[in-house]
Amino acid sequence: MEQVTQQMLDSAGKVIAVHINYPSRAAQRGRTPDQPSYFLKPGSSLALTGGTVERPAGCELLGYEGEITLVIGKTARRVSIEDAWSHVAAVTASNDLGVYDLRWADKGSNLRSKGGDGFTPVGPGLIDAAAVDPAALRIRTWINGELVQDDTTADLLFPFARLVADLSQLLTLQPGDLILTGTPAGASVAVPGDVLEVEVDAPAVGLSTGRLSTTVTEGTTPLAPFGAQPKIDDKQREEAWGSLEAAGLPAKEEPASTLTPELKAKLESVATATLSSQMRRRGLNNVSIDGLTGTKTGRKVVGTARTLRYVPNREDLFKSHGGGYNAQKRAIDSVREGEVLIMEARGEKGTGTLGDILALRAKHNGAAAIITDGGVRDYSTVAGIDLPVYCANPHPAVLGRRHVPWDTDITVACGGATVQPGDIIVADDDGILVIPPAIAAELVEDCIEQERQEEFIAEQVKAGHSVDGLYPMNQQWLEKYQAWLDGQ
What residues contact 58, with CB distance under 8 A and at least 6 apart? 101, 219, 222, 223, 229, 230
Exposure on the CB side of residue 443, measured as CA atoms within 13 A: 31
Q: Is 358 flagged in the annotation as binding?
A: yes
Taking the C-alpha atoms of residue 208 and residue 196, their distance in angstroms, rounded to an integer, is 17
Q: Is 356 flagged in the annotation as binding?
A: yes
Taking the C-alpha atoms of residue 339 and residue 419, their distance in angstroms, rounded to an integer, is 13
Closest of 123, 126, 145, 133 to residue 203, by C-alpha: 133
Task: Please report the pLDDT score of residue 483 as a whole number.
Answer: 87
Q: Is 377 flagged in the annotation as binding?
A: yes
pLDDT tens by residue, 9-56: 888 899 999 999 999 888 887 778 889 999 999 999 999 988 999 999
Per-residue pLDDT of the chain (488 residues; tens, 9 = 90+): 688 888 888 888 999 999 999 998 888 877 788 899 999 999 999 999 889 999 999 999 999 999 999 999 999 999 999 999 999 999 999 999 999 999 888 877 899 899 999 999 999 999 999 999 999 999 999 999 999 999 999 999 999 999 999 999 999 999 999 999 999 999 999 999 999 999 999 999 999 999 999 999 999 999 999 888 999 888 889 888 988 888 888 877 655 668 999 999 999 999 999 999 999 999 999 999 999 999 999 999 999 999 999 999 999 888 888 877 789 998 998 899 999 999 999 999 999 999 999 999 999 999 999 999 999 999 999 999 999 999 999 999 988 889 999 999 999 999 999 999 999 999 999 999 999 999 999 999 999 999 999 899 999 999 999 989 888 888 998 888 888 888 87
For 6-241, give the CATH class: alpha beta
Instruction: State the CB neighbour count (10 A cutoff) for residue 267.
Output: 25
Task: Please report the pLDDT score of residue 488 as a whole number.
Answer: 76
Distance of CA 101 to the CA centre of its chain: 27
Taking the C-alpha atoms of residue 477 and residue 471, their distance in angstroms, rounded to an integer, is 9
SS (H, E, C) the chain: CCECCHHHHHCCCCEEEECCCCHHHHHHHCCCCCCCCEEEECHHHEECCCEEEEECCCCCCEEECEEEEEEECCCECCCCHHHHHHHEEEEEEEECCEEHHHHHHHCCCCHHHHCCCCCEEECCECEEHHHCCCCCCEEEEEECCEEEEEEECCCCCCCHHHHHHHHHCCCCECCCCEEECCCCCCCEEECCCCEEEEEEEECCCCEECCCEEEEEEECCCCCCCCCCCCCCCHHHHHHHHCCCCCCCCCCCCCCCCCCCHHHHHHHHHCCHHHHHHHHHHCCCCCCEECCCEECCCCCCEEEEEEEEEEEECCHHHHHHHCCCCCHHHHHHHHCCCCEEEEEECCCCCCCECCCHHHHHHHHHHCCCEEEECCEECCHHHHHHCCCCEEECEECCCCHHHCEEEEEECCCEEECCEEECCCCEEEEECCEEEEECHHHHHHHHHHHHHHHHHHHHHHHHHHCCCCCCCCCCCCHHHHHHHHHHHHCC
Task: Please report the pLDDT score of residue 116 as a whole number.
Answer: 93
Q: Is 355 flagged in the annotation as binding?
A: yes
Instruction: State the CB neighbour count (10 A cutoff) for residue 152.
Output: 15
Name residue 214's beta-bridge partners: 51, 196
Task: Please report the pLDDT score of residue 254 as a whole number.
Answer: 55
Task: Please report the pLDDT score of residue 310 as a whole number.
Answer: 96
Question: Would you tell me the crossing angle of helices 272-281 and 440-462 to the nearest 10 degrees?
Answer: 110
Taking the C-alpha atoms of residue 114 and residue 105, their distance in angstroms, rounded to an integer, is 12
Closest of 242, 226, 220, 230 to residue 143, by C-alpha: 242
Residue type, 141: T
Task: Please report the pLDDT score of residue 1 as a whole number.
Answer: 66
Superfamily classification of domain 286-435? Ribonuclease E inhibitor RraA/RraA-like (3.50.30.40)
Delimit the domains of the chain by residue range.
6-241, 286-435
Residue type, 156: L
Q: What is the phi-psi region of residue 475: left when phi exceeds 0, alpha when psi lies from -120 to 50, beta otherwise?
A: alpha
